Structure 1
Amino acid sequence: MEQIVCPNGVKIVTEKINTTRAVSIGIFVRAGSRYEQAHENGMTHFIEHMLFKGTTTRTAQQISQTIDRIGGELNAYTSRDHTCYHVTVLDTHAEQGLAVLSDMFFNSVFDKEAIEKEKRVIYEEMAMDEDTPEEYLADHFYQDLYANHPLGRPILGTKATIENFTQAAILQYVKKYYVPEHIVVSLAGNISDTLIEQVRLLFGAFSGETQLDSVAPVFCVGDYVYEKSVEQAHFTLAYEASKRGTEESYALLVLDTIIGGTTSSRLFQTVREQLGLAYQIYSTTSLYEDIGTWLVYVATNESEFPLAKAKVQEVIQEIYHNGVTLEEVKDAITHLQGSFVLGMESAESHMTRNGELLLHGLTVRTVDEALVRIGEVTVEEVNTLAKKMFSTSVATGVIMPI
């Protein structure tokens, strides 16, 4: 694995994997919904869509056809703190994939008619999330959990903000955030030195400078209730957790696995297998540069909701008071190591992991190095973290059927 820093500040990370014929290229931009002003909410995600809508030399259809014809995959995603545009192709088509991806990145036209059309597409994406109780709860809960902070705003934005997006506003946003210091290009797979040099020439030559405007959010505890026409009660419970990149975050991974990260976890076995109260129940983490959240989600019958909620809290309190066992920690570590390795079987997974780590200023460990670090987590570390995290106040959110 190698890293290159271009004179303009763009960082390039490469990982050659000669056991695959795939090449995956990703452009990571430190632009996400948490950096948006209130009137810009949804702009980052909107721009992600617009980069597929045509350049000075290719129409939207030509962009898609070029990659489809060579059997590749071209896609993108927007998170709360970054955006990624990526392509995966055969090694024989690597230069063609790079040409399309870089053309989209540097030469998108942001056509006014296409902007208005894409607004309607995103309204439908919003409607899809509104129709999905889990997504609906997450969006509304985040707004209360991080009240009055951009981190709590929906990544998609709102109809009120999106309807006011203009070509001029989009171009101004791109100029502000799509600058060298905010960009990492990640390559993984059967990549050649020629391809790496092409990336360096393409991305090391443009200019621009800006500073990210972001303050740390405050974790707002409370009990939040939302109403929606649904068949089940949907419940989430959250504690403030370690921020991204701390040594404590490894113990958090193990703790999360033990509590609700697998089908053998305490929550799954208690709430679903033993009591039959839910089909879906899990725990997960969301970690950012200045704050972290650990949460539980469960969906259950309205009449069973009080019992399901009580059982979730009982599992957490049991661990708070008595801790987890050495056997649980060992099993969780083995699970994490196995799932991590299996999840890294593609060139795209290597590209994504390396790009995200470098973009956020984290150590880019090899797979083997990461496995060693996971294996170093002790039962004492996990129990110390559980005691610390579960001694703080909790935030809850619930959708109750109307």
Structure 2
Amino acid sequence: MHYLTHILPNGLRMVHLPSNSPVSYCGFAVNAGTRDERVDEFGLAHFVEHMIFKGTRKRKAWHILNRMENVGGELNAYTSKEETFVYSIFMEEHFKRAVELLTDLVFESQFPQHEIEKEVDVILDEINSYLDSPSDLIYDEFENILFNGHALGHNILGTEESLLSFNSDSGRSFLQRFYTPENMLFFSMGNIDFKRIVHWLEIHMKEISFSPVQRLRETPPFVLPRQVKLQKDTHQAHVLMGSRGYSMHDKRRIPLFLLNNLLGGPGMNSRLNVTLREKHGLVYNVESTSISYTDTGVQAIYFGTDPKNMDKSIRLVHTELARLRTGKLSTSQLASAKKQLIGQLGISGDNKESIFLGMGKSYLHYNHYDTLPEVYRKVEQVTAEQLLEVANEIFDPDKMFSLLYY
């Protein structure tokens, strides 16, 4: 599967993946997220993502809402710690319409004050809903502990205080600082001549002026591991333990990805699920995850259990981590772990939206997109020695943080 690329004169990178499907995709990926907010801007990246749908120089919110919906299409967006995606899914014949609308949204949004007041209420409700879900909330609080208050650990949604301080100027300022061609990517997938997409973007962007991107990302400083216990009014005890992981540019992230799948991936046969749930009946949900950022990463193990079983569950987790650090995988175990991960990647790769978004994120950060066969090859190249080395570095109890809700 070959993709096509182009760079506009204004510096905007473009990547297109041909597809025979009548359903098409396109969008903008912005290299800016929560960690790019200033001290008085917590939640602004996510707020801007919401507000770009609320009015541009030539459209009101109602017109934006109906532009793709009226032809059966969808408009979507999301914000993460380091990027913001705005994209559309539609039938092939509406490609030009989608390109024009998305360009209008990301470059010409006006942040009308009357819409801000309504959207703040929406996001505050989102925050309250989030606070009602300790299994989600604990991840954000854990990252804040892991990064010791650094911007990378901030909650994406922000706080009530910060949201109430935002106005039209706040949104336009963030847009001007980060929504610039040199800091963005236009990515697309569909059965259409790529030259037509390039032509449409050149037309729609030729009259827009941009300022240079204003971003200064600082790598989180080293923090000594510690345990934090918080009393919460919850039925279960929630436990999250982990450490700093690898950046998206570190080759060791592939062995760590394989280790995570073996330890606490989605398979019912993961080591933690077999030990904590199948053998001992202590948990309903247990998982191990690894997140890579541009200059660091997060490795986390989560489970929820009855408070009386919390200490026993923690001991069992440490037992499984010790197995990874001291027991080199046999040839058959390694082959089985690789086969399972490759199968899971293949199934997830059958989702076209997932392929589209994965390509966008990959090209945004790497200027390259690994097709599934390339990913399979990287997984196959992992050795048992690499896994053992990574396990001893990442899953060392002396380097691990822990956050307990009980």
TM class by smaller structure: over 0.9
Root-mean-square deviation (CA, aligned residues, Å) is 1.6
**Which amino acid in 1 is paired with 2:163?**
I
SS at match of 1:46: helix
CA shift for structure 1 position 362? 5.2
Contact 1:55-1:103 within 8 A present in 2 as well: yes
Structure 1, residues 149-200: CA drift from partner, whole Å, max 9, x if none?
1001111111111111111122111111111111001111223231343134
The letter of the residue matching 1:13 is V
Aligned residue type for 1:395: F
Structure 2 vs 1, CA of residues 196 and 251 (structure 1 numbering), >3 Å: closer, same or farther?
same
* 2:395 is aligned with 1:393: no
Q: 1:329 to 1:346 in 2, by over 3 A?
A: same
Question: May I ask how many residue pairs the two structures share in their alignment?
Answer: 399
Specify which structure has the bigger relative contact order, considering alpha-carbon pairs within 8 angstroms and separated by 6 or more residues.
1
Q: Residue 199 of structure 2 aligns with which residue?
A: 197
- How many Å apart are 1:206 and its aligned residue? 4.2
Confirm or deny: 8 A CA contact 2:146 2:244 kept in the other structure: no
CA contact (8 A) 1:258 1:328 kept: no
**In 2, are the aligned partners of 1:236 and 1:297 still within 8 Å (CA)?**
yes
Is the contact between residue 337 and residue 374 of structure 1 (CA under 8 Å) also seen in structure 2? yes
- How far apart, CA to CA, are the structure 1 residues paired with 2:222 and 2:143? 10
CA distances 1:92-116 after superposition (whole Å, capped 9, x unpaired): 1111222222221122221001011
Secondary structure of residue in 2 paired with 1:38 = coil
Q: Relative to 1, partners in 2 of residues 1:129 and 1:69: Cα closer, same or farther, differing over 3 Å? A: same
* Equivalent pair of 1:26/1:84 in contact (CA under 8 Å): yes
1:281 positional shift: 0.4
Deviation at 1:215, TM superposition (A): 0.8
The amino acid that maps onto 2:368 is T
Question: Are 2:245 and 1:241 aligned?
Answer: yes
CA distance change for structure 1 residues 380 and 169 in 2, over 3 Å: closer, same or farther?
A: same
1:15 paired residue number: 17
1:139-158 matches, within 5 Å, as: 139-158=140-159
- Structure 1: stretches of 5+ with no match in the other structure: none
3-state SS of the aligned residue for 1:12?
Answer: strand
State the match for 1:108 in structure 2: 109
**C-alpha separation between the residues in 1 aligned to 2:285 and 2:7?**
45
Which whole-Å CA distance do the structure 1 matches of 2:279 and 2:226 have between them? 29
Could you tell me how far apart the structure 2 residues matched to 1:367 and 1:257 are? 17
Task: Name the amino acid aligned to 2:74.
Answer: E
2:258 pairs with 1:257: no
Shift of 1:328: 3.0
Is the CA contact 1:32–1:80 (under 8 Å) kept in the aligned structure 2?
yes
Please name the residue that 1:216 is paired with. Answer: 219
Mapped to 2, the partners of 1:152 and 1:163 lie a distance apart of 21
Percent identity between matched residues is: 28
Equivalent residue, structure 1, for 2:321? 316
| Shift, 1:228, TM fit | 1.8
1:212-264 per-residue CA deviation (whole Å, 9 max, x = no partner) reads 21110135321011222110000001122221122211111111111101211
For 1:305 and 1:74, the matched residues in 2 are separated by: 43
Alignment match, 1:275: 280
SS of equivalent to 1:228: coil
The answer to which of 370-379 and 247-256 deviates more is 370-379
Q: Which residue of 2 aligns with 1:289?
A: 294
Secondary structure, counterpart of 1:314 in structure 2: helix
User: Is 1:225 aligned with 2:232?
Assistant: no
For residues 314 and 362 of structure 1, the distance between their equivalents in structure 2, rounded to whole angstroms, comes to 41
Counterpart AA for 2:401: A
| Contact 1:26–1:351 (Cα < 8 Å) also in 2 | no
Give TM-score scaled by structure 1 length: 0.95
Q: CA deviation at 1:203?
A: 4.6
Check 1:363–1:285 CA distance in 2 against 1; reply closer, same or farther (3 A cut): same
Tell me whether 350-359 or 193-202 shows the greater mean CA deviation: 193-202
The answer to whether the 8 A contact 1:188-1:348 is kept is no
Alpha-carbon distance in structure 2 between the residues aligned to 1:295 and 1:232: 19
Q: Report Cα offsets for 1:337-364 as digits up to 9, x if no partner.
A: 2222222224422321121112113532
Counterpart residue identity of residue 207, structure 1: F
Alignment match, 1:4: 6
2:205 and 2:349 map into 1 onto residues whose CA distance is 26
Normalising by the residue count of structure 2, what TM-score does the alignment of the two structures yield? 0.94
Counterpart residue type for residue 394 of structure 1? M
CA separation in 1, counterparts of 2:287 and 2:367? 27
- Which 10-residue stretch deviates more, 203-212 or 159-168? 203-212
In structure 2, the gaps of 5 or more residues are none
Other structure's SS at 1:349 match: helix
Provide the rounded CA distance (Å) in 1 between the counterparts of 2:259 and 2:28.
Answer: 32
1:51 aligned partner? 52
Q: Which amino acid letter does the alignment assign opposite residue 360 of structure 2?
A: G
